[in-house]
């Protein structure tokens, strides 16, 4: 009887030991997985933007192919007073793990919340946006672009882009700077985004397009816009359709109103008691 109890006790110890081992392995996997993915994201964004970034937190799901990023910030070059160019409190990624292993990332869903884009002109008249690699590339002529065109880094099936506001600060005429803020509150969806360069260009274009910043800063938004025209249409096609329907309804209402006015006019022009032909 004592031997049976001893064997059961040894068996239980083994089970507990194995459970603890797997728990430690799971925690280690979670830690290293987060660290590896964080490094990949940081290197990828820094490679495409040419700027440094930091993340407050990153969590990679163990059972689901999801990445949650908190507090992503992209910093200005060191010769700018304002430290942060881009403030993204939330980024959500649903990815295909096989594509990541192949080195050709495929994101099924990407949700970005851009709280603020800070556009700054420093005391020397330099604009922080000109430090972005996509902006530098857009200034090259077509031949140079063909020679330096990057390989496809990314494929995004469904992109949701939320943008809070854009801020412009101009230190070129002294301090305190000239400041303008534009509250956008955009919430848009795009499909089939084909590279990180397109994603960065899209964020810049959609943030500045409905503001006066490009004009105030003398920034060429047209070259970036033309480079992503196909991507813009994936969202703007819906808007254009809505505009067309609204215009048609307005035209119909105007014609009906015109008819009523003419009818009323003919009634009031007729003398009392007269009959209309």
Determine the Cα–Cα distance for residues 121 and 168; give it in Å rounded to an integer: 8
- The DSSP annotation for 213-251 comes to HHHHHT---HHHHHHTHHHHHHHHHHHHHHHHHHHHHHH
Q: Give, for all 277 residues of the chain, the pLDDT tens digit.
A: 666 666 666 667 667 766 666 566 555 555 556 666 666 677 767 777 888 888 888 888 767 788 899 999 999 999 999 999 999 999 999 988 887 777 788 899 999 999 999 999 999 999 999 999 888 887 765 445 444 445 456 889 999 999 999 999 999 999 899 999 999 999 999 999 988 889 999 999 999 998 999 999 999 998 888 888 888 887 743 444 433 433 444 444 445 545 544 554 554 455 555 444 4
The C-alpha angle with vertex 143 and arms to 52 and 133, in degrees rounded to 5, equals 10
- The DSSP annotation for 31-51 comes to HHHHHHHHHHHHHHHHHHHSS
Element (H, E) at 260: helix 229-269
Full-model pTM: 0.70
Question: Residue holding tokens 């991507």?
Answer: 231
Question: Residue holding tokens 């499909």?
Answer: 191
Position 160 scores a pLDDT of 95
Determine the Cα–Cα distance for residues 60 and 100; give it in Å rounded to an integer: 13
Element (H, E) at 13: helix 2-49
Q: Chain-centre distance of CA 83, in angstroms?
A: 20
Position 81 scores a pLDDT of 92
CA-closest candidate to residue 117, choices 49, 37, 191, 198? 49
Task: For residue 154, give the 3-state DSSP assignment.
Answer: coil
Long-range Cβ pairs for the range 22-28 (8 Å, 24+): 26/62
Residues 6+ apart with CB under 8 A from 5: none
Position 212 scores a pLDDT of 95
Determine the Cα–Cα distance for residues 146 and 2; give it in Å rounded to an integer: 81
Residues 6+ apart with CB under 8 A from 267: none
Return the structure tokens found at 27: 């925690």
Question: Residue holding tokens 């964080």?
Answer: 38
Task: For residue 67, give the 3-state DSSP assignment.
Answer: strand
């Amino acid at each position: 009887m004592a031997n049976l109890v001893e064997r059961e006790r040894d068996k239980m110890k083994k089970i507990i030991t194995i459970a603890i081992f797997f728990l430690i392995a799971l925690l280690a996997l979670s830690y290293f997985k987060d660290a590896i993915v964080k490094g990949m994201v940081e290197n990828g964004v820094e490679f495409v933007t040419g700027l440094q970034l930091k993340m407050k937190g990153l969590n990679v799901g163990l059972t689901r192919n999801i990445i949650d990023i908190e507090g992503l910030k992209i910093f200005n070059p060191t010769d700018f007073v304002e430290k942060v160019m881009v403030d993204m409190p939330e980024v959500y990624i649903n990815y295909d793990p096989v594509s990541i292993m192949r080195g050709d990332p495929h994101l099924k869903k990407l949700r970005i919340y851009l709280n603020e884009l800070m556009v700054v002109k420093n005391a020397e008249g330099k604009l922080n946006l000109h430090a972005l690699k996509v902006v530098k590339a857009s200034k090259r002529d077509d031949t140079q672009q063909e020679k330096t065109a990057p390989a496809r880094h990314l494929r995004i099936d469904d992109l949701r882009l939320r943008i809070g506001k854009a801020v412009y600060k101009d230190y070129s005429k002294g301090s305190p700077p000239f400041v303008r803020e534009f509250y956008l509150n955009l919430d848009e969806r795009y499909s089939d985004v084909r590279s990180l360069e397109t994603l960065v260009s899209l964020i810049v274009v959609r943030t500045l397009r409905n503001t006066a910043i490009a004009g105030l800063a003398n920034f060429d938004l047209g070259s970036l816009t033309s480079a992503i025209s196909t991507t813009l249409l994936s969202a703007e096609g819906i808007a254009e359709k809505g505009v067309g329907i609204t215009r048609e309804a307005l035209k119909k209402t105007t014609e009906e109103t015109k008819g009523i006015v003419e009818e009323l006019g003919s009634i009031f022009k007729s003398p009392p008691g007269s009959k209309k032909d």
